[in-house]
Amino acid sequence: MNKTRSITKYFTALEQSEGVGAKVRRSIGSQELRNFTPFLMLDHFSVSPPAGFPDHPHHGQETITYVLDGMIAHEDFTGSRGVLRAGDLQFMTAGKGIVHSEIPVELESGAPAVGLQLWVDLPMHLKDCEPRYRDLLNREIPSVRPKPGLEVRVVSGESYSVKSMSELAYTPVHFYHFITRKPDTAFEQYFPSSFNVFMYVLKGSVMVNGRTFAQYSSVFFNTDGSHVEGSSTSEEAEFVLVGGEILRQPVLQYGPFVETSKLKMYEVLENYQSSTNGFERAQDWSSSIAHGVVYGDVEKIESNK
């Protein structure tokens, strides 16, 4: 089935407040689209100190954080800590439970931390797995330039015969960052038929299936084709194309907790409140970064990973 995927839905992600003083443009997880299996949320964030995402829990999901500009420090109750720079990614599996903090580094330039955070559902049999982190540094991400004016950063998956370093999430996810540097630059990207696929426009504008989508557009595709294709319509454009394996299971979400039934959700909430069954380390834990991180702290944080 070598045909292009048709579009099922599209809209512009509107800015809203989230965390402590942070601004995000939410597409998946908004009133426009509650979820798009396996994806639960997509936030395009811009966070300037002292705003951030201080100590908070997760269960039953994975998060993928892609820093586009600035720096973000992170720390969790397992002792994991570090700093993500522009071009770096982090794949976090919350599994049965984790509490962590994500705080932008205060830079001398005053520039905010900008990036994408994607929440991905875990298959039912993995919701109680042990938490884990995998960082993917900018230099570890292969890129391909298949034609003049087109570059693809292959975060996860394969694009124009270039493969990513490895699969970094339990739920199979393919993640590509497309960059075009002149108008009318054509592109195409193939996905497995078992994947849901969406596009988010970071910069400029892109034409897909005869329709032009401007900055902050979120475009969702049907599973009726083998690939997505289109072309840039602005001098420069950047967008991500992301696909994930469809999970045929119920989705029950209560904030950062994700389960498949009310009974399981009650159990998770009780575990968190009583600091048991995965949340033992949450009792009396607080991160060292929740109240802010200055650039001079970065070396210290990284040396104590």
| Residues annotated in a binding site | 56, 58, 100, 102
DSSP string for residues in the chain: ---BPPEEEEEEPEEEEETBTEEEEE-TTSSS-S-BTTEEEEEEEEE-TT-BEEEEEEBSEEEEEEEEES-EEEEETTS-EEEE-TT-EEEEE-TT-EEEEEEEEE-TT-PPEEEEEEEEEPPGGGTTSPPEEEEE-GGGS-EEEEETTEEEEEEESEETTEE-S---SSS-EEEEEEEE-STT-EEEEE--TTEEEEEEEEES-EEETTEEE-TTEEEEE-SSSSEEEEEE-SSSEEEEEEEEEPP-S--EEETTEEESSHHHHHHHHHHHHHT-TT-GGGTT---SSTT-EEGGGHHHHHHT-
Q: Which residues are annotated as a binding site for Fe cation?
A: 56, 58, 100, 102
